[in-house]
Amino acid sequence: MTFINDFQGIKKITRKQRGVYVLWGKNGECLYVGRGKIINRLSYHLSANINFRDLIVSITVYLGHSERETRLLEYALIHRYSPIFNKEYRWNNIVGLKYRDWGESFFIKKQRN
């Protein structure tokens, strides 16, 4: 997973690169968490709704390597930041898998000795 948090880094992203992006407001609040082809999605958010565009102060991008990885990260970030404009998602809608497909060990925190 590659992390980008500056404009120059975002300009280097190709149209085919997928990942997760976080749109931040002026008071540091998380406005939206999304995933997909980064350039296409950011173009949509920055041009489609002028009121929404005016709220965005910064953008964080995580470039992913697989669909599963980006779905998991999107899910985790939505639940961590509680974005203002995201709808409530159920686990199966985000990951597209059932709990048993991952195995219980994936969700249990490892105890340190």
Type of residue numbered 96: G
Residue pointed to by tokens 């105890």: 111
* Ordered per-residue pLDDT tens for the chain, 113 residues: 676 777 778 888 888 899 999 999 989 999 999 999 998 888 887 786 667 778 888 899 999 878 888 888 998 898 899 898 887 555 444 445 444 444 444 444 444 54
Report d(CA 33, CA 92) in Å as an integer. Answer: 17
